[in-house]
Each structure stands twice: as structure tokens, then as C-alpha cells.
A = this chain, B = another copy of it.
Amino acid sequence: MKKFVNDPKDFVPEMLKGIALANPTTLKYIPDYNLIMRTDIPRDDKVSIMQGSGSGHEPAHVMIVGKGMLDAACPGNVFAAPPADFVYQTTKLVAGPKGVLHLLNNYTGDTMSFEMGREMAEADGIEVRTVVINDDVAVKDSLYTVGRRGVAGNFFVIKAVGAASERGASLEELEALGNRVVSVTRTMGMALTGCTPPGKGSPIFTLAEDEMEMGIGIHGEPGRKRVKLAPANQIVDELFEAVRSDLPYEAGDEVALMINGMGGTPISELYLLYGHAHELVEKCGMKVKRSYVGEYCTSLEMAGFSLTLVKLDPELEDLLAAPAEVAIRIF
């Protein structure tokens, strides 16, 4: 797979520089710690919220830093956890008197870095709490994870705690809210193709012209099964049933429904998939109150998508509807 790259080792820094140049008043890039943060943080009246993970999942997380979302993101290299020291330095930079909330998708590398970074920050007297996101129903353990993986559902956790933090919620309240969103959020994804990290130059896995991988992870790690390619509606049927039955989501529930593109699938196909997923939700007697179609958590240029359901209550729906401003925007 051909890519737009100069020296592969500069891929992440050059991307971060571009994000800051495109958002000069609201975001800054700090090369020493490879991070993107808001220009107006820390604030005395607000818990700061940060996340880090491997790069290659954009817009997660460096492009969803902004008002009402993350206050900072410290990415690692492509598909590699950020160093613990960068987690620590980012925590120090964003820390105000109300403390810092760490969000992390459940991958072993990220967990180790964030635990160490948190300990270092706490030794400096910074109060830190952590919410671990593990919305992927596909597999119990996987190549890089003990327990369930954290995938596109992390968007809803960030959006909810980001909105609540702007309204002055305490660190304890945000930790509880984050865990509550995790408890009602489920996702499963699949892929049509592999993807190529810039530093590797060759695909991390391949699928034949008539194959797809159901339940895939966002680093190409194996899912539930590799099967023959199927019509779009049949793929949606299978992901939807895996997700729906897990919580379970039931008749009468009000939900948010997300079709998340994995990076290489055009938005036309994502809306086609959304249409069928929406009808499945309604057929089960549930109601779609909020819809999300686009790229939220990707795997470089992998073709594929994931389906996420979130069970809503009035408070959560209100937080998801609150205004927010991030790098990803059309206008």
C-alpha cells in the first residue's frame, strides 16, 4: 500500500505539526513529549481529561482534542503505546487544582504506560483517576489485551466526560460517569483489507479477494473468524446481533448508533451500512436518538467498519448533544 510519507520516523510528528498549524488558536503541539493539547488548559474550574494510545487510529485521539472533548492527547508511534514518561509529562502540563482524568482503551501496552505515568504524577501531588474503556464484544482476550479491547466506543466516553467537565463536574463524578458510559456501550468491527504501518512498509496482515475478518481488532489482531465475503446487509446483521445481545439492548431502549469507518472505506458505503443498521434497531423496538456515521477510530487505511450501540438516558443524551469543537470538522 502506497502512502503519503517522507521519512517514516517523522510520520507522527509531521501529522501533529499539521494538526496544530490547522488550529493555531485552539491547539498546540509540544514536540518534546509528542503531544497535542488545548491552548486554554489547565483551568482552575475544570478537571483536565487526557488520553494516549498508539497512533494510526486517527481521528482518535489527537484530532479530538478540543473544547468539550479531550484536553490533551499523547500518542505513541503507529500502533505503539506512548512512553510512560510522556504520559507523566502530559499529566503535569494539563493538571489544575481539580485533578486529571486518564482515559485509556484497554490494551496492555497502554495500561502499563498509564499506570506508571499516573504513579509518577501522583508522586508530584497530582490527583489522577482512570477510566478503562473495553467496549469490543468480539473476543475475551486477544493478542495485545487481557480482557476486552477498547475501540470506537471510546468516543462516547470522551464526549460525555468532556461535556460534564466543562460544566464543572468533580474528578470523582467524571470517573463514575466514564465508567457508567463504558457499562452501556458495546462495539464489534470487521475488515475487508489489512493496513500498512508507515515504518513497516508492508501490510501487517492480508485478506484474500473473497475473504473478510469478523471481530477484528484495530491493530489487525485476529477477531472471531475469517470467512467468505458477504453482502453488506448480512455483515451488518451479524455485527448488530453480536453487539445487541451482549448488554443486552432491548425493546424500549433509546440508543446512539455509530457506524465507524476503519480508514479506507468511503463514506458512501458507511451510510449504506448505517441505513440497514438503523432499520435493525427499530425492528427490535428500540429507538435511535442519536446517529454517528464516519471515521472515529481507525486502523490507518484498513477497509472495514465497526458498529457501536450506546444505551441512553436523559443525562447521557444531553451530554452527547452538548457543543464541542475539535480538529475534525468540515467547516
Say whether B301 contacts A271, CB under 8 Å. no
- Contact partner, A328, options B2, B264, B294, Cβ 8 Å: B294
Q: Which chain A residues in 91-138 approach chain B with CB under 8 Å?
A: none
CB distance from A149 to the nearest CB of B (A): 20
Give min CB distance, A28 to chain B, whole Å.
14
Minimal Cβ-Cβ distance residue in B for A320: B331
Shortest Cβ distance from A271 into B: residue: B18
| Residue contact B331 to A324, C-beta cutoff 8 Å | yes
Contact B303 A301 (CB under 8 A): yes
When the two chains form their complex, are residues A266 and B330 in contact, meaning their CB atoms are under 8 A apart?
no
Which B residue sits closest to A257, measured CB to CB? Answer: B22
Q: Which of A17, A55, A330 has the most CB of B within 10 A?
A: A330
Q: Which of A170-178, A246-254, A272-280 contacts B (4 or more CB under 8 A)?
A: A272-280
Q: Which of B209, B232, B328 lies in contact with A5, CB distance below 8 A?
A: B232
CB pair A5–B331 under 8 Å, yes or no, is no
Known contacts A275-B17, A329-B330, A264 near B266 by CB under 8 Å:
yes
Residues of B within 8 A of A271 (CB): 15-16, 18-19, 22, 58, 63, 327
For the complex, give the distance between the alpha carbons of A329 and B289 in Å.
16
Q: Contact between A5 and B231 (Cβ–Cβ < 8 Å)?
A: yes
A8 to chain B, nearest CB (A): 11
A296 touches B55 (CB 8 A): no
Chain A 280-329 residues near chain B, CB threshold 8 A = 288, 291-296, 298, 300-301, 303, 305, 320, 323-324, 326-329
Among B11, B291, B324, the residue within 8 A (CB) of A22 is: B291
Q: How far is the CB of A54 from chain B (nearest CB, A)?
A: 12
Which chain B residues lie closer than 8 Å to A241 at the CB level? none
Q: Which of A4, A63, A263, A264 has the most CB of B within 10 A?
A: A4
Which residues of the partner chain B approach A296 to less than 8 Å between Cβ atoms?
A: 330
> 30 A-B contacts, Cβ less than 8 Å apart?
A2-B212, A4-B235, A4-B270, A6-B233, A6-B272, A14-B232, A15-B271, A15-B275, A18-B271, A18-B272, A21-B288, A22-B271, A22-B274, A55-B268, A58-B266, A59-B330, A64-B330, A159-B331, A263-B266, A265-B301, A267-B295, A268-B300, A271-B327, A292-B330, A293-B327, A294-B328, A294-B329, A296-B330, A320-B331, A328-B330
3 cross-chain pairs, A with B, having the tightest CB-CB distances, nearest first: A18-B275, A18-B271, A22-B291
